[in-house]
Structure 1
Amino acid sequence: MSDDDRAHWDAKYVDRVAPDADAIGVDAVFAVHRDAFPDEGQAIDVACGQGAGAIWLARRGLQVHGFDISAVAIEQARALAERSGVGGRCRFDVADLDDGLPGGPPADVIYSARFRDRRLYRPMMDRLAPGGLLALCALSQVGGTAGRFRAAPGELRAAFSGLEVIAAGEGQGLAWLLARRRGDEVPSAG
């Protein structure tokens, strides 16, 4: 990302009120499927923002590593994790995802809410541990406006066709996918 993009996101988060630590839950599109999420293991929150998704996962029992381009958002996420009592289960780092998904061990959960970068689809799939869960929600052209940051109709299902779909949907400007990597096989890219 350019310095202008980084400054844009920092400015957005400076004025944002931190989520209420007691009201943090999974993204609404995944709420009905919250029992599909494991209660132990390693998780990654891609473009974590203020950390609400990471904190929800940590409260379930996972060790979570969150990444975001905004240093302001990362500081807010760290503070929120501490206030939420899960600071020891969360690690947050500034990362420019234009450089790719930061390295690390396989993840039992990869979570991303309201973020889309097609260049990260294959690295996310490769990073999932056998049996690992992908929870991805992106802005969509379906029921929304077109744009380079919005998923095209059917994009998520096609991109992650090598995973076992638990649930998926498109509409009202959102596309989402909850899918699991099967056993030890290497998923094919769609």
Structure 2
Amino acid sequence: MAREDRERWDARHRAVAAAGAPAVPTPPDALRGREHLLPTAGRALDVACGRGTVAVWLAEHGFGVDAVDVSEPALAAGAALAADRGVGEQVRWWSHDLDEGLPDGCAGPYDVVVCQRFRDPALYPVLAQRLAPGGLLVVTVLSVVGDEGGPFRADAGELLAAFDGLTRLDHTERDGEASLLARRP
């Protein structure tokens, strides 16, 4: 990732923190209303975790979580949220540039892999490989479907093609967003 991109993300997360908006643990967007699909416990990976609201939500649901992001201010906010919610020991925070893949310490296998609002097709096979048998994949990316194109938007059908070896539980593409819920056989 370019230094300018990292600085832009750091500035964005600092601005959110300065605005004083409270962070609230939340399920991944694609899992809302489908929380029953979540395994009862295990290990989880939150890729591009940002301020950690999903990572903390997973920890509150009994998971040991590896949370990865490039932004130090975002990771600090996530660690503070986890500590405030009493799950600080359940989350490991990884400062890492995802353009270089996943950190070596995030080898899996994971019972849940979440990637929300970060798209790197080169990382898709790695996400699938990190899933434990029966593990749940939850991915949401920007999409060209129902929106204009752009360098960070998935083509129609991209997630289905990328994760065709998994069992699809739900897939949507509309309003500039694509999401996939899938399980490893």
Taking structure 1 as the reference length, the TM-score comes to 0.91
Which residue of structure 2 lines up, in the alignment, with residue 128 of structure 1?
A: 131
Amino acid of the structure 1 residue aligned with 2:167:
E
1:131-154: CA deviation from partner (whole Å, max 9, x where unpaired): 111000111111222111111111
Q: Say whether residues 1:107 and 2:115 are aligned partners.
A: no
CA shift in 2, pair 1:94/1:171, >3 Å: same
For the residues of structure 2 that align with 1:129 and 1:91, how far apart are their CA atoms? 19
SS of equivalent residue, structure 2 residue 34: helix
- Where structure 1 has 5 or more consecutive residues not aligned to the other structure, the ranges are 183-190
Residues 128-147 of structure 1 mapped to structure 2, 5 A cutoff: 128-147=131-150
1:10 Cα offset (Å): 0.4
Q: Percent same amino acid at aligned positions?
A: 44
SS of equivalent residue, structure 1 residue 158: helix
CA shift in 2, pair 1:74/1:59, >3 Å: same
Amino acid of the structure 2 residue aligned with 1:48:
C
Which residue of structure 2 lines up, in the alignment, with residue 152 of structure 1?
A: 155
2:121 to 118, 122, 127: 118
Amino acid of the structure 2 residue aligned with 1:100:
G
Which residue of structure 1 lines up, in the alignment, with residue 43 of structure 2?
A: 42
- Asked whether the 8 Å contact 1:38–1:60 carries over to 2, the reply is no
Equivalent residue pairs, number: 181
SS of equivalent residue, structure 1 residue 15: helix
Which residue of structure 2 lines up, in the alignment, with residue 171 of structure 1?
A: 174
For the residues of structure 1 that align with 2:3 and 2:152, how far apart are their CA atoms? 18
1:19 Cα offset (Å): 6.1
Residues 72-87 of structure 1 mapped to structure 2, 5 A cutoff: 72-87=73-88
For the residues of structure 2 that align with 1:27 and 1:107, how far apart are their CA atoms? 16
For the residues of structure 2 that align with 1:83 and 1:171, how far apart are their CA atoms? 36
1:82 Cα offset (Å): 0.7
For the residues of structure 2 that align with 1:131 and 1:29, how far apart are their CA atoms? 18
CA shift in 2, pair 1:111/1:71, >3 Å: same
Amino acid of the structure 1 residue aligned with 2:146:
G
Amino acid of the structure 1 residue aligned with 2:159:
L
- Asked whether the 8 Å contact 2:14–2:73 carries over to 1, the reply is yes
CA shift in 2, pair 1:19/1:36, >3 Å: farther
For the residues of structure 1 that align with 2:85 and 2:21, how far apart are their CA atoms? 10
For the residues of structure 1 that align with 2:79 and 2:146, how far apart are their CA atoms? 34
Dislocated runs of 4+, deviation >6 Å: none
For the residues of structure 2 that align with 1:112 and 1:43, how far apart are their CA atoms? 11
Amino acid of the structure 1 residue aligned with 2:71:
S
Amino acid of the structure 1 residue aligned with 2:29:
A
1:28 Cα offset (Å): 3.4
